[in-house]
Amino acid sequence: MSIHNIEQKRALLALSRVPKLGLITLRRLLSLVPDPVELAQSGSELRDLGTFPEAFHRGLRESVDWFYADQILKKTQNAELDILSILDPGYPPRLKEISAPPPLLWVRGRTELLQQICIAVVGTRAPSHYGRKMTKLFVEGLASMGFVIVSGLANGVDAEAHKMALETSGQTIAVLGSGLDWIYPSSNRTLAKEMLLGGGLLVSEFPPGTSPAKEHFPIRNRTVSGMSVGVLVTESAQKGGSMITAATAREQNREVFAIPHPLQVKSGSGCNQLIRMQSAKLVQSFEDIVDEFSLNIPKDAVPVLPFNDVEEHHLLPVQQKILQEIGEMEIHLQTLSKRVDIPLPRLYAYLLDLEVKGRIRQ
């Protein structure tokens, strides 16, 4: 990691302490002055733009907390965590699309999962037998197709989703509403360790030392849906965090899916309500979700970058092999499957990811 990169993260941390400097304003400022070090110093470049009054620059300069930034960097190092900034190439590409993406993410585990096709699976903390069964069936199918399962490490549906993803592919991401050194709920500490050992990833936009708090979880839910192509609600009552996540996903222009529930299962009434209000698409199998993305991912959902602008380390070795086989020519899926020796269902998942990254076109 370069010294400049560390200084940028230090500057973003220092800026996070500025009163009334929200994420939307910060993003606007970074569009004007891309280097957060320059921004934190409220230098001449920003003044020359004449966008903000002198009082703004003076307040910015006086409120930037470099001492806090150094404290957090030391805590991060002691906790053996990594930090991704919104300026890093490894930052989740879909999360950048939302209106107020977190400028910093603390991570532990396989960060390359952030570059793959993620789908959020959320639901009640007290699922019925039916809800648990559906969660397991859908997650197993989606994970087998190459989707990375994202959830919030809560009890109930979240935990079931992480566990089934671990058993199927190991590709799962837990987004926490606390610092990564404060696993919540404590009953899922073992699950968090298993995720790391099994090839998963823990993510938080809260620095180490941050305890879980009620106001943190809607923020966490925004990140869960923001880094995903869609949200699957497997079981939810009509009020609760899962319904908030579904609403946030719609605001972020993400697909929302819901599993229908028998009328006597009250813990699934929220899913039925989402379907009735046309706020979610009814799904009866994981193939319904796969088919939805194969037909309806808009071509402009992710910017198509020139080949040289996409760094190769964002791709898995098998994806690089696939690109070499495709080259500049058209090729039939079955032919490609034979050449790279990958079964069609798994090949489809890799191709979907490459298409979203702008490397291939259907």
pLDDT tens by residue, 83-95: 999 999 999 999 9
Burial tier of 303 (Cβ tally within 10 Å: 0-12, 13-18, 19+)? exposed
Which stretches does DSSP call E strand in the chain?
Answer: 82-85, 104-109, 118-123, 148-151, 172-175, 201-204, 230-235, 255-258, 281-282
Q: Which amino acid is at 303?
A: P
Q: Check if CATH label 3.40.50.300 holds for domain 109-296.
A: no
pLDDT tens by residue, 155-187: 999 999 999 999 998 899 999 999 999 999 999
pLDDT tens by residue, 306-325: 333 334 445 677 788 888 88
SS3 241: helix
Encoded tokens for 84: 């991704």
* pLDDT for position 176: 98
Q: Is the pLDDT of residue 48 over 60?
A: no
φ and ψ at residue 122, rounded to 5 degrees: -135, 165
Quick one: which of 188, 174, 191, 66 has its CA closest to 118?
A: 174
HSE at residue 136, side-chain half, CA atoms within 13 A, is: 11
CA atoms of 198 and 148, how far apart (whole Å): 13
* pLDDT for position 312: 45
**Axis-axis angle for helices 241-251, 269-276 (nearest 10):** 30
The winner for highest mean pLDDT among 10-19, 58-67, 269-278 is 269-278
SS3 274: helix
φ and ψ at residue 307, rounded to 5 degrees: -55, -45
288 near 145, Cβ under 8 Å?
A: no
* pLDDT for position 307: 35
pLDDT tens by residue, 250-292: 999 999 999 999 888 889 999 999 999 999 999 999 999 998 8
Domain boundaries, the chain: 3-72, 109-296, 307-356
CA atoms of 160 and 158, how far apart (whole Å): 6
